[in-house]
Amino acid sequence: MGASQPIRSKPILTLTVNPALDVSTSTEQVVSVHKLRCSASRLDPGGGGVNVSRVVRRLGGQTLAVHTAGGATGEAYRRLIVAERVPSLVVPIEGSTRQNFTVDEATTRKQFRFVLEGPRLSEAEWRACLSALASSVPPGGFVVASGSLPPGVPEDFYARVARMVHEGGAHCIVDTSGVALTQALAEGVFLVKPSRRELGEHFDTVLDSTQSQVDAASALVATGAAEYVALTLGGAGAVLASKSGVIRLPVPPVQVLSTVGAGDSFLAGFVLRLAQGRPAEAAFRTAVAAGSAAVMTPATELCHRDDVERLEADLPAAVWLPG
């Protein structure tokens, strides 16, 4: 296929009920009491699903990002999405879209991430999110529901999403934590992408050994909670479990500047390749490369396509092994 010819792809829709205007900056040292003089700030339209949409687009794919927006921050957020040419369907809300604040401490290279709760959604507003989804579920395509739930949204929200996506004949992918994750898994999803901490919390344990990680991921597959479980382990790589078995991949050696958005980049790489008709093991390699490419970029910046392609080429083959 020629380079100029786009790969035929199934539709990808992302859902973000709690987006955040990401403000990032740096300062010499974070101390109490004194004013902390900061460098010029950078603004990004963040939040799980929207980040997935942004990375899919960077990697050459197409998505529709369904997200809430409200207040002056919501306006700024929408402008940034438009500037990045990410197609979106906005669900207006009364409250103001939250801001998250990331500060890089220059002297130590530590990163401080302040994550706000988000505006309370009324029942009419969260139901409007579900209606927006209901009218746009792409049959045969993929829906990525990602991020925390803001106050007011019931904890079974992603379970409702999963049911709706399933009824619409699409594949539901969920990336969240806590009770919202547990409820989505009780409904059953196509793919789930927990971190080590999130999956540990789900099983009320600490997944501190390779075997415990493989067992936990495989257990979700065995019980029908998810067809695919992509367990990400930060700098220790990732595990993919399905009925075909288990694959473990290490991360490529990269210089870590900021891990913000690594999980979202991972998921974007994964869903894009699935939508392009690639098998899960190939999608998993792109995902690990995209996650690792994201940590090479500073602050809230997401991954670059050329880094993803370069890192992916150097990853070992992804081979299914018995769980």
Number of neighbours of residue 277 by Cβ within 10 angstroms: 12
Report residue 242: phi and psi, to 5°: -155, -175
- Least Cα distance to 130 among 171, 89, 99 occurs for 89
Of 100, 213, 292, 300, the one binding ligand ATP by CB under 6 A: 292
Which of ligand ATP, Mg ion, none lies near 148, with the C-beta cut-off 5 to 8 A by kind? none
Q: Which amino acid type is present at position 19?
A: P
Of 25, 111, 244, 259, the one binding ligand ATP by CB under 6 A: 259
Of 235, 277, 279, 316, the one binding ligand ATP by CB under 6 A: 235
Size of the site for ligand ATP (CB under 6 A): 20
- Least Cα distance to 270 among 261, 259, 280 occurs for 280
Please write down the HEC assignment for all residues of 150-219: CCCCCCCHHHHHHHHHHHCCCEEEEECCHHHHHHHHHHCEEEECCEHHHHHHHCCCCCCCHHHHHHHHHH
Q: Residue 234 or residue 323: which is nearer to ligand ATP going by CB? A: 234
Per the annotation, the verdict on 264 as an active-site residue is yes
- Shortest Cβ distance from residue 174 to Mg ion (Å)? 11
Out of 22, 104, 156, 264, which one is annotated catalytic? 264
Interface mask toward ligand ATP for 190-229; x: CB under 6 A: -----x----------------------------------
Which of ligand ATP, Mg ion, none lies near 233, with the C-beta cut-off 5 to 8 A by kind? ligand ATP
- Are 150 and 117 contacting, i.e. CB atoms less than 8 angstroms apart? yes
- Shortest Cβ distance from residue 263 to Mg ion (Å)? 3
Residues making contact with Mg ion (CB under 5 A): 263
* CA 127/CA 316 separation, integer angstroms: 44
Q: Residue 164 or residue 247: which is nearer to ligand ATP going by CB? A: 247
- Are 214 and 323 contacting, i.e. CB atoms less than 8 angstroms apart? yes
256 binds ligand ATP (CB under 6 A): yes
Footprint of ligand ATP on this chain (CB under 6 A)?
A: 195, 232-235, 237-238, 251, 254, 256, 259, 261-264, 266, 288, 291-292, 295
Residues with a known catalytic role: 264
